[in-house]
Amino acid sequence: MRAIPEDSEQQALQLLVLKRFGMAAGTYALALLLTWITVFGGYYQAPVDTAVIGSLMIVVSQLVFFWIFYRGHNLRFRDPSLTEPQVLVGLAWLTFFLYNLGTERGSLMVLYVLVLMFAVFLPPKIFARYAVLAFCSFVGVSLGDLSLNGPDEPQALLLQASVLLVTLVWMCLFVGYVYKLRQRMRQRRYALQAHQETLRGMMRQLEDLASTDELTGLYNRRHFINKAEAELNRLRPGHYSGLALIDLDHFKRINDVYGHATGDRILQTFASVARSCLRDDDVLARYGGEEFVLLLPGTDAERFHACCERLREAFANAQPLDIQLQPGQLSLSVGLTLLSANDSLDESLQRADEALYRAKHKGRNRCEASWVTVDA
């Protein structure tokens, strides 16, 4: 298709519209067949030229519609199916055909129903307008014929007009019913969409709850493991991510001296200090108790070490509100390592843990590294 709609929704709509056009074109093909059956069957009372004109009307009008749909010009209109113009063309052609058919037109007036079937999804008022047009066209053509050729079975005309009237009234009532049904279905769809939106929101909340540590608002251990595994799978050879275990020093002492609530506030202080030191892509999680774990995607030994040093210093200088701490009371130790492709998360955590142990052993408040990687 040459006219490319803006998004997939428009593409789906255009596909639907083209399918409907295909149905209309198929119906016109049958109409063409009928025209020539009446001609060859000897029922067609006008000169054959008029049948040729009628057939050309069908072919040309369908080519024009096809061109409009093919180029996507129909998308500019409120109803991209162009139902009303199509029904108008259908009614015009049918009236022309029935006029030329002569007295046999009564047996083919049912074709008005066929044309109006394409309008059943229009609002009832608009449908009724086309039903009235169809009725007036048929009666007008029949009366015109009557006045030109004299009264040829006027009772038959009355019967035909009555049958058409009853059929069209019934169709109008049916269209009203279909319209109400569709409105009800649309309302239900909106209600369903609203429910789905609420459910999606609840799912998001649940996911947040399941992946977040309540006290610090950082990711929890389970979520970190998932993220780290995903990062490991993404890592290409020759590229590294930093992994660090961070442990607050002498935290038991802080709890003992200032109380558990203050200890909690200091854990929260660490979380906010760390957030301000890190980028959005960095993953920081509470690993358990006063231990945290950090994953820095796409880094190297030097930059990762510098980042952890920055974090250590920022925490050492932090001043939690309403807590009177002695200078140097806040400190942390870090064990660093690098993750590389084909590494195992367990082994890299083990390396970071060994480095952390060394940092603690050497007097705390420092960063120690285990740079041995599987690439090395």
We find the least distance from the C-beta atom of residue 314 to ligand GTP, in angstroms, to be 18
Rounded distance between C-alpha atoms, residue 1 and residue 194, angstroms: 35
We find the least distance from the C-beta atom of residue 368 to ligand GTP, in angstroms, to be 14
Q: How far is CA 340 from the centre of its chain?
A: 37
Q: How far is CA 151 from the centre of its chain?
A: 63
| Residue 88 neighbours by CB distance under 10 Å | 15
- Contact range with ligand GTP by CB under 6 A, out of 10-18, 198-206, 260-268, 297-305: 260-268
Indicate the residue among 97 and 315 with the shorter CB distance to ligand GTP.
315
We find the least distance from the C-beta atom of residue 282 to ligand GTP, in angstroms, to be 22
Q: Could you tell me how many residues of this chain bind ligand GTP (CB under 6 A)?
A: 17
Residue with token string 């086309």: 130
| Residue 4 neighbours by CB distance under 10 Å | 9
Among 73, 260, 303, 310, binds ligand GTP (CB under 6 A): 260
In the 8-state DSSP scheme, what is residue 299? -
Tokens of 327: 């200078």
- Contact range with ligand GTP by CB under 6 A, out of 86-94, 109-117, 249-257, 301-309: 249-257
Indicate the residue among 267 and 285 with the shorter CB distance to ligand GTP.
267
Secondary structure (3-state) at 294? strand
With CB atoms as reference, the residue minimizing the distance to ligand GTP is 263
Asked whether the beta carbons of 294 and 246 are under 8 A apart, the reply is yes
We find the least distance from the C-beta atom of residue 269 to ligand GTP, in angstroms, to be 12
- Contact between 362 and ligand GTP by CB under 6 A: the answer reads no
To 10 degrees, what angle do helices 154-211 and 221-234 make? 100
- Contact between 255 and ligand GTP by CB under 6 A: the answer reads yes
296 strand-pairing partners: 242
Q: Give residues 302-361 in contact with ligand GTP (rule: CB under 6 A).
A: 360
One character per residue 283-302, x = contact with ligand GTP (rule: CB under 6 A): ------xx------------
One character per residue 207-236, x = contact with ligand GTP (rule: CB under 6 A): --------x---------------------
- Contact between 247 and ligand GTP by CB under 6 A: the answer reads yes
Tokens of 205: 């909340």
Rounded distance between C-alpha atoms, residue 289 and residue 264, angstroms: 10
Strand intervals (E) in the chain: 240-248, 283-288, 291-296, 332-340, 367-370
For residue 1, which of 63, 59, 10 has the smallest C-alpha distance? 10
Calculate the alpha carbon distances from 69 to 1, 13, 56, 115 in Å.
10, 11, 20, 20
- Contact range with ligand GTP by CB under 6 A, out of 57-65, 77-85, 259-267, 299-307: 259-267
Indicate the residue among 129 and 360 with the shorter CB distance to ligand GTP.
360
Rounded distance between C-alpha atoms, residue 72 and residue 70, angstroms: 5
Is 291 catalytic? The answer is: no
Length of the chain: 376
- Contact between 251 and ligand GTP by CB under 6 A: the answer reads yes
Indicate the residue among 61 and 211 with the shorter CB distance to ligand GTP.
211
We find the least distance from the C-beta atom of residue 315 to ligand GTP, in angstroms, to be 13
Q: Which is catalytic among the residues 214, 290, 291, 302?
A: 290
Indicate the residue among 249 and 368 with the shorter CB distance to ligand GTP.
249
We find the least distance from the C-beta atom of residue 225 to ligand GTP, in angstroms, to be 19
Rounded distance between C-alpha atoms, residue 131 and residue 164, angstroms: 10
| Residue 250 neighbours by CB distance under 10 Å | 15
* Residues classed as catalytic: 290
Please give the residue ranges that form the binding site for ligand GTP (CB under 6 A): 215, 247-253, 255, 260, 263-264, 267, 289-290, 360, 364
